[in-house]
């Protein structure tokens, strides 16, 4: 099977674009990725498009209606917050399978503001606030509090993650926000669902990101100077765990996916230079230090206390600003974090550059549950 | 402080907490809550006879061990311990806050989610592993579009 490379990749600056359409926002990133690869839509042999909000509305084809209708196969996919990464992975698989040499993957979302989560639909009466809460800040707070129960993790430690990611975002011109949020500001912000304050919840934004993936043969033909090798692409769903029915388990499926990813790549956490992981809430980031093997179980609080996960630290996490400050357009997030890691591996990340970065990891979780992990390498 | 305890909105639960005194015309809020015509309401689990996995709601296949047609109905315990929780301050419009969203491991198996009541919603008052009991009462006065009343369940400190 051919190795697969990212030849072009880009994202738009995340923001709120209520006057634009989903395909229009997606088309912008698609054109940017094509330009980055030095190719045109005529060169693409297939397209995989990730979008959640209009999953039944042929977003991929509508993007091509904006940038060039060449008759290629288009697949639209939805996989909760792992949607963009899943589209990228499908593109990767199609090249691995030997079907194509040049494939476009696009992720796009238009979000609007407000709380995400199930209000408990179905017949009868609403369950929200009657049988606990199905809001995302609460679901991820409960997952974080499980960690507190096991290891004594504190509100302050969770809050420090948000301080870190907001600080990182001040170095990223494509982040939704570029503001410092000192610890007091984070801890005293409006409490949404303890221990997650408003500044510890990801930002609902509109955004898009896209990548051009190519086979090794094509990469060599077109020039390897800025190509990034996909060392691993892993996708897992949630295995049965005892509290499944009331507590979505974001840990078990991450551990399955990361084990697969490390095996595919033939390396371990100690070989990574940076990680973009799914910090949909500050409580979530804490769990994934351990799930991804960046530290031992029970050491996540120490990782943030000691600064190991900051830019300049042992293993910088979410130097883009993460979902907490860069923003979280659900369908775009998975490709946006691939863009971030590629920027570092190409030594093009500007002020937030992780010096000498050779290998990086991206991780997303879609509740329900899907986990997608990619390991990328500077060839 | 970020918490506005003074509002003490947990009182709203007390106001709505009409304890069980006859189930006539009360519908269960969820399908795993059984409200018999006579006798006490209870929570029902579906347990796999092969691997012991516990589920809420009727099913035929075990998603843990994949056994088919090996499910038995079991009456779940009203005694449990708090596994995890969050205190919810922002919910959907019309939902009274703050309240404690709690995950409770029941004795003899099964984990259920619900509101922990009769505890001031403050992390200092909530301890992991605390003993709780399942209590049954009116579903906070919520009615469906046909005007039917519902029975639900809550947790309170044992």
Task: Please name the residues in contact with B66: beta carbons below 8 A apart, sequence gap of 6 or more.
Answer: none
Domains and CATH numbers, chain A: 4-113+203-377 (3.40.47.10)
Q: Give me the pLDDT at residue B18, please.
A: 45
Nearest to B84 among A119, A145, A240 (CB): A145
Q: Give me the pLDDT at residue B13, please.
A: 41
Q: Do B84 and A124 touch (CB under 8 A)?
A: no
Give this complex's ipTM. Answer: 0.94
CA-based nearest residue in chain B for residue A122: B30
Nearest to B101 among A138, A155, A195 (CB): A138
Report the 3 state secondary structure along B21-53.
Answer: CCCCCEEECCCCEECCCCCCCEEEEEEECCCCC
Q: Give me the pLDDT at residue A116, please.
A: 76
Could you give the percent of chain B with pLDDT greater than 70?
85
Tell me: pLDDT of B10 over 80: no
Q: Do A131 and B144 touch (CB under 8 A)?
A: no
Bridge partners (DSSP) of residue A196 are: A193
Residues of B in contact with A187 (CB under 8 A): 2
Residues of B in contact with A132 (CB under 8 A): 88, 101-103, 113-115
CB A11 within 8 A of CB A225: no
Closest CA to A146 of A76, A246, A46, A240: A246
Tell me: pLDDT of B17 over 50: no
How far is C-alpha A184 from the chain's CA centre? 27
Q: Give me the pLDDT at residue A114, please.
A: 72
Query: Whole-angstrom Cα distance, residue A177 to residue A83?
Result: 23
Nearest to A131 among B91, B105, B114 (CB): B114
Q: Do A190 and B89 touch (CB under 8 A)?
A: yes
Bridge partners (DSSP) of residue A232 are: A375
- For residue A197, give both structure tokens: 């304050």
Residues of A in contact with B123 (CB under 8 A): 155, 194-195
Write the pLDDT tens digit of every residue in B114-158. Answer: 999 999 999 999 999 999 999 999 999 999 999 999 999 999 999
Query: Whole-angstrom Cα distance, residue B119 to residue B154?
Result: 12
User: How would you classify residue A223: left for phi > 0, otherwise alpha for psi between -120 and 50, otherwise beta?
Assistant: left
Substitution target in A116, A118, A191 with the highest count of B β-carbons within 10 Å is: A191
Q: Do A193 and B89 touch (CB under 8 A)?
A: yes
Tell me: pLDDT of B16 over 80: no
Mean pLDDT of B26-54: 95
Number of Cβ atoms within 10 Å of the Cβ of A315: 20
- For residue A247, give both structure tokens: 């507590």
Starting at the edge strand found earlier in the chain, the sheet holding A274-276 runs A74-77, A46-50, A102-109, A207-215, A4-11, A228-237, A370-377, A359-366, A274-276
Q: What is the CA radius of gyration of chain B?
A: 17
CA-based nearest residue in chain B for residue A141: B86
Q: Give me the pLDDT at residue B5, please.
A: 39
Catalytic residues of A: 81, 328
The two beta strands, A4-11 and A191-193, are unpaired
Could you give the percent of chain B with pLDDT greater than 90?
80
Tell me: pLDDT of B14 over 60: no
Number of Cβ atoms within 10 Å of the Cβ of B60: 10
Residue B6: pLDDT band (50, 70, 90) is very low
Handedness of CA B54, B23, B97, A112 (dihedral sign): positive
DSSP class of residue A42? Answer: G
The mean pLDDT values, 10 residues at a time, for chain A of 379 residues are 96 97 98 98 98 97 98 98 98 98 98 70 85 96 98 98 98 98 98 98 97 98 96 97 90 97 98 98 98 98 98 98 98 98 98 98 96 97
Tell me: pLDDT of B112 over 70: yes
Q: Give me the pLDDT at residue B8, please.
A: 39
Q: Do A125 and B29 touch (CB under 8 A)?
A: yes
Q: Which residue has the tokens 């019309």?
A: B94
Task: Please name the residues in contact with A241: beta carbons below 8 A apart, sequence gap of 6 or more.
Answer: A249, A252
Q: Do A188 and B2 touch (CB under 8 A)?
A: yes
Task: Please name the residues in contact with A267: beta carbons below 8 A apart, sequence gap of 6 or more.
Answer: A231, A359, A375
CA angle in degrees (0–180, nearest 5) for A167-A169-A174? 165
Q: Give me the pLDDT at residue B37, please.
A: 87
CA-based nearest residue in chain A for residue B54: A242
Write the pLDDT tens digit of every residue in A36-61. Answer: 999 999 999 999 999 999 999 999 99
Cα B37 to Cα A357, B16, B23, B143, B149: the distances in Å are 68, 22, 6, 19, 15
DSSP class of residue A327? Answer: -
Residues of A in contact with B80 (CB under 8 A): none
Q: Give me the pLDDT at residue A115, please.
A: 75
How many A×B Cβ pairs under 8 Å?
135
Q: Give me the pLDDT at residue B9, please.
A: 39
Q: Give me the pLDDT at residue B122, please.
A: 96
Chain B nearest CA to A132, separation (Å): 4
CA angle in degrees (0–180, nearest 5) for A219-A220-A224? 70
CA-based nearest residue in chain B for residue A124: B144
Substitution target in A245, A248, A251, A283 with the highest count of B β-carbons within 10 Å is: A245
Q: Give me the pLDDT at residue A48, please.
A: 98
How far is C-alpha A334 from the chain's CA centre? 4
CA angle in degrees (0–180, nearest 5) for A372-A373-A378? 145
């Amino acid at each position: 099977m051919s190795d697969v490379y990212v030849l072009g990749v880009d994202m738009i600056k995340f923001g709120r674009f209520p006057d634009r359409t989903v395909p229009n926002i997606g088309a912008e990133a698609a054109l940017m990725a094509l330009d980055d690869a030095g190719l045109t839509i005529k060169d693409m042999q297939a397209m995989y498009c990730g979008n959640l909000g209009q999953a039944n509305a042929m977003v991929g084809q509508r993007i091509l209606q904006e940038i060039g209708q060449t008759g290629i196969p288009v697949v639209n996919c939805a996989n909760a917050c792992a949607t963009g990464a899943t589209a990228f992975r499908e593109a990767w698989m199609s090249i691995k399978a030997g079907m194509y040499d040049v494939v476009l993957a696009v992720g796009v979302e238009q979000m609007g503001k407000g709380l995400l989560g199930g209000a408990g639909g179905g017949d009868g009466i609403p369950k929200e606030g009657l049988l606990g809460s199905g809001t995302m800040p609460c679901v991820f707070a409960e997952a974080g509090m499980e960690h507190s129960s096991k290891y004594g993790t504190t509100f302050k430690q969770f809050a420090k993650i948000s301080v870190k990611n907001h600080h990182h975002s001040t170095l990223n011109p494509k982040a939704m926000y570029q503001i410092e949020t000192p610890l007091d500001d984070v801890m005293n912000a409006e409490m949404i669902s303890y221990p997650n304050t408003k500044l510890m919840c990801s930002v609902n934004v509109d955004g898009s990101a896209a990548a051009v993936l190519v086979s090794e043969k094509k990469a060599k033909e077109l020039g390897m100077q800025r190509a990034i090798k996909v060392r691993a692409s892993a996708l897992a769903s949630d295995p049965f765990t005892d509290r499944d029915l009331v507590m979505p388990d974001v840990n078990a499926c991450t551990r399955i996916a990361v084990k697969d990813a490390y095996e595919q790549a033939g390396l371990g956490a100690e070989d990574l230079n940076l990680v973009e992981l799914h910090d949909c809430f500050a409580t979530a980031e804490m769990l994934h230090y351990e799930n991804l093997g960046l530290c031992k179980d029970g050491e996540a609080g120490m990782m943030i206390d000691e600064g190991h996960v900051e830019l300049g630290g042992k293993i910088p996490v979410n130097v883009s600003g993460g979902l907490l400050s860069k923003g979280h357009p659900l369908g775009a997030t998975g490709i946006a974090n691939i863009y971030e890691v590629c920027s570092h591996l190409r030594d093009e990340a500007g002020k937030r550059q992780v010096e000498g970065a050779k290998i990086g990891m991206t991780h997303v979780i879609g509740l329900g549950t899907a986990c997608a992990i990619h390991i990328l390498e500077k060839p | 402080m970020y918490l506005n305890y003074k509002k003490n909105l947990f009182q709203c639960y007390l106001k709505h907490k009409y304890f069980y005194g006859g189930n006539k015309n009360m519908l269960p809020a969820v399908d795993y809550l059984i409200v018999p015509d006579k006798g006490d309401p209870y929570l029902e689990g579906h347990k796999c006879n092969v691997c012991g996995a516990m589920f809420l709601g009727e099913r035929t296949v075990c998603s843990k061990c994949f056994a088919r047609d090996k499910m038995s109905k079991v009456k779940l315990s009203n005694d449990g311990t708090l596994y995890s929780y969050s205190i919810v301050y922002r919910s959907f419009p019309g939902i009274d806050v703050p309240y404690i969203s709690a995950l409770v491991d029941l004795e003899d198996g099964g984990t259920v989610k619900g509101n922990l009541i009769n505890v001031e919603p403050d992390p200092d008052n909530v301890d992991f592993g605390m003993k709780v009991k399942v209590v049954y009462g009116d579903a906070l006065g919520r009615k469906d579009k046909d005007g039917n009343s519902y029975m639900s369940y809550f947790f309170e400190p044992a």
